[in-house]
Structure 1
Amino acid sequence: MKKILSIAAAALMVLSGCNGDKLKQAESLNGELNDSLHVALANQDSLLVLLNDITDGMNQIKDMEKILSNTSDLNAESASRKAQLRNDMSAIQKALQERRERLAQLEEKLKKSQSYSGTLQRTVENLKAEIANQEATISTLRNDLAAAKIQVADLTTRVDSLNTTVAAVTEERTLAQEQAIAAENELNTCFYAIGTKKELKEAKIIETGFLRKTKLMQADFQQSYFTTADKRTLTTINTHAKKAKVLTNMPQDSYVIEDVDGIKIIRVTNAREFWSRSNYLVIQVD
């Protein structure tokens, strides 16, 4: 009996002829690794949700900036409308504080996990800077709104200064958004390798032997042998071979192997599920 156990981004063990004790040890190890993987994926999902929330905050602040940058429109606003603006600003400030606390909690979890990379660290720092930037902008807008209620004439002069500040903030925000997009692209990066059994062994991607367990992707495997791709756009992989099989433990219901003119094609039917266990895909061809 042959049972396939997965090791995400570290090791995949194919068990053949193992005794009962070894099977139990392997199952225990697989369970621990699956738990670690689920935690890592949950942390990454939380980071992406936080990215979206902060982007929403940017849009809300931008709308308020438009209102306060036009003196005539601001003067025409009713007392109730200005009160609503103040309430909206307070709500945004509260949301920013909550996001700051969520980010601190997420950073603590990431630091304790094995998935905390340099890219994730830079992403966390960028999000901290963006939250601080938004808090400073809201504070400025609250002051401008208060001044408009007391002395409208003085607001005209300060709008010029506000416009200069907005331009600087916009530039910083654009940079932060670009860095956030780069980080999101990094989170969606995947890798795949196609080769014969001999080629995969030479690249140290698999290790086999007579009556010995097959090991996949040991510490010294050749990263350069893998092709880099994007999980969001990689839907089909042409193996250019008549026979092909997936060695990594991708969920079987997330892909199909099709025959097109005698050539095997790997077609991903559920990308999220397909890459849920590992960012690496190994395909053996004959």
Structure 2
Amino acid sequence: MNKKVIFGLALVAAFTSSCGRNSSAYKELKAQYDSVFAINAAHEAELGEMDSLISTVLTNFQEISQMEGMINVNPISGDFKKSQRDRIRDNMQLINEKLQSNRENIQKLSQQIEKFGRENKGLQRTLASLRKQFADKTAEIQHLNDELVRKNLYIGMQDSIIGLQNAHLNDMAVENASQRTELMAQERELNTVRYAIGTARDLKDMGLLKDGKVVTDKANMGYFSSADLRELNQIALQAKKAELLTSHPASSYELRAGNKGELSIIIKDAKQFWSVSKILIVKVK
């Protein structure tokens, strides 16, 4: 049992003896424990399912290797008897089915790991190893099939094996594209900055200014404009007086007046400007 669950049980038991089951403290702790236990149970179920998938894939690989060893491409008589042909055909069909099963299970495992969290390096290494084994084993079976064809034993598996190889490559391409899309989204978010401009009254109404202090906790992001810090070089303030209420190194920007005297923030060093805060709040008059 998970150590956290054991600790939780002990803690609940201690409260039961000291405070009683009807106490509010006990009920609150019990509710917290039930929540943790439910999360832990779901976590254990996911791990169990992944373990089952890995076990099935490894067993299939082992059985495929055993069936490979039973296929003799060099019969003693020089020719294949009908019984030998039938046995080879049956074994190759089973091999193909197990390869197909492994491809599907590896895909399921990949999806489970996606839900479980990609940061789990152990699971990622296991997945990479299974994928390599699949690619290697499929190539082996392709070579074996080619040998059988050269021995005038056509068993109709060529298209199926090539289809498996192409499907596996497509699976990898789709997942890589998904990972690239996710990385791009993460990169965009990392480089996203937000800014709000308004008078003192405006900022108070937005809930961004309270008792003369900036408040960004639980701020309504709808009041902010968003931009990519790599592309944002200038922010027009449409006012002749302005004060930056959030922290930004003075050397990273300047307030520059235009023809009508209206100010703009000129960002000279974006990385430095946003290094302290990814949120900019400007009070104008």
With normalisation by structure 1, the TM-score equals 0.47
Q: Which protein has the larger Cα radius of gyration, Structure 1 or Structure 2?
A: 2
The structure carrying a bigger strand percent of its residues is 1
Identify the structure with bigger relative contact order (alpha carbons < 8 Å, sequence gap 6+): 1
With normalisation by structure 2, the TM-score equals 0.48
